[in-house]
Structure 1
Amino acid sequence: MSNTPSTEASAGLESLAVGGDALMGMATLGKTAAALALVIAIILVCTALLRRWNPQRRAAGGHLQVIGSAALGSRERVVIVEVEGTWLVLGVGGGQVNKLHELAAPARPAGDASHSVPEGERFAARFARALKQNAGLGGTGRRD
């Protein structure tokens, strides 16, 4: 069978159509990737703005500040929170928050916001050790 000009033309058009479909598929894939990149960029920009504004620090009208915290277990934590010049020692775990202790916040020198954090961490470490000892999980008690 010999190739006639009409058969050759139809074969050429068919190969062009297949190539055109592949080209359209690549264009669609490119548009989808660009849209996904745009969405991810918007999420990253919003995250950066939220971190910069730090809405957590402004909770309760700016009167609440987390001084320190320590993990006691997989879900339990001890948190020291300052509210209007008072430190609250809170036990957080199992969907509950319990007030463990309340004391007056120590006076901080002007411009020294980091002074209280090591104190809270020391307390948290001692408290965690005491809890482990009382629960029979080991520990030798006071090491200070």
Structure 2
Amino acid sequence: MAPVSMGNIIGALALVLLLIVAVAWVFRRTGVATRMVKGNSILSVKHTQSIGARERLVVVEVDDKWLLLGVTQDNITNLMTMEKKAELESVKPAPFISSFQTALVNCIAQRKGESKK
């Protein structure tokens, strides 16, 4: 048998530690680690919506209630509390988008008409 040098042992140890760090980083980036812990969680984030550079709206589920939170860089504000819906798919989006699009097109057309006069 060939003698094992101290360099080989240190190299193998460094390789194993690097492999552990790489696997942990991949699990964290892909969300596998949070999905494994989610079963025991009493708090879960249902949806987030960014409304600015450092501002966002967050829907959080706690004990069969949904909280709408306004999150800024400095604080977190509870904007609304509601009972838990059956599922997010049951909530129908308002036809606001199409009406807003129509209103925006009409407004732009009016402005173009005013600028020609």
Q: TM-score range by the shorter chain?
A: 0.5 to 0.7
Q: What is the CA deviation profile of residues 92-128 of structure 1, one whole-angstrom value per residue up to 9, with x for unaligned ones?
A: 01231100011111123xxxxx626xx5xx69xx8xx
Which residue number corresponds to residue 13 of structure 1?
Answer: none
Q: What is the CA deviation profile of residues 54-78 of structure 1, one whole-angstrom value per residue up to 9, with x for unaligned ones?
A: 179539x522111111111111010
Provide the rounded CA distance (Å) in 2 between the counterparts of 1:56 and 1:95. 30
Q: 1:115 is aligned with what amino acid?
A: E
Which residue number corresponds to residue 68 of structure 1?
Answer: 47
Which residue number corresponds to residue 72 of structure 2?
Answer: 93
Which residue number corresponds to residue 89 of structure 2?
Answer: 115
Provide the rounded CA distance (Å) in 2 between the counterparts of 1:69 and 1:94. 15
Which residue number corresponds to residue 77 of structure 1?
Answer: 56
Matched, 1:40 2:15: no
Q: Which runs of 5+ in 1 are unaligned?
A: 1-27, 109-113, 127-141
- Distance change >3 Å, CA 77–CA 57, structure 1 → 2: farther
Q: Which runs of 5+ in 2 are unaligned?
A: 1-6, 102-117
Q: What is the CA deviation profile of residues 19-65 of structure 1, one whole-angstrom value per residue up to 9, with x for unaligned ones?
A: xxxxxxxxx9xx87x94x55432211123455433179539x52211
Instruction: Kindly name which structure, 1 or 2, has the bigger radius of gyration based on alpha carbons.
Output: 1
Q: Which residue, 54, 60, 81 being the options, matches 2:34?
A: 54
Structure with bigger RCO (C-alpha 8 Å, 6+ apart): 1
What TM-score, normalized by structure 2, do the two folds share?
A: 0.54
Q: 2:33 is aligned with what amino acid?
A: W
- Distance change >3 Å, CA 143–CA 70, structure 1 → 2: same
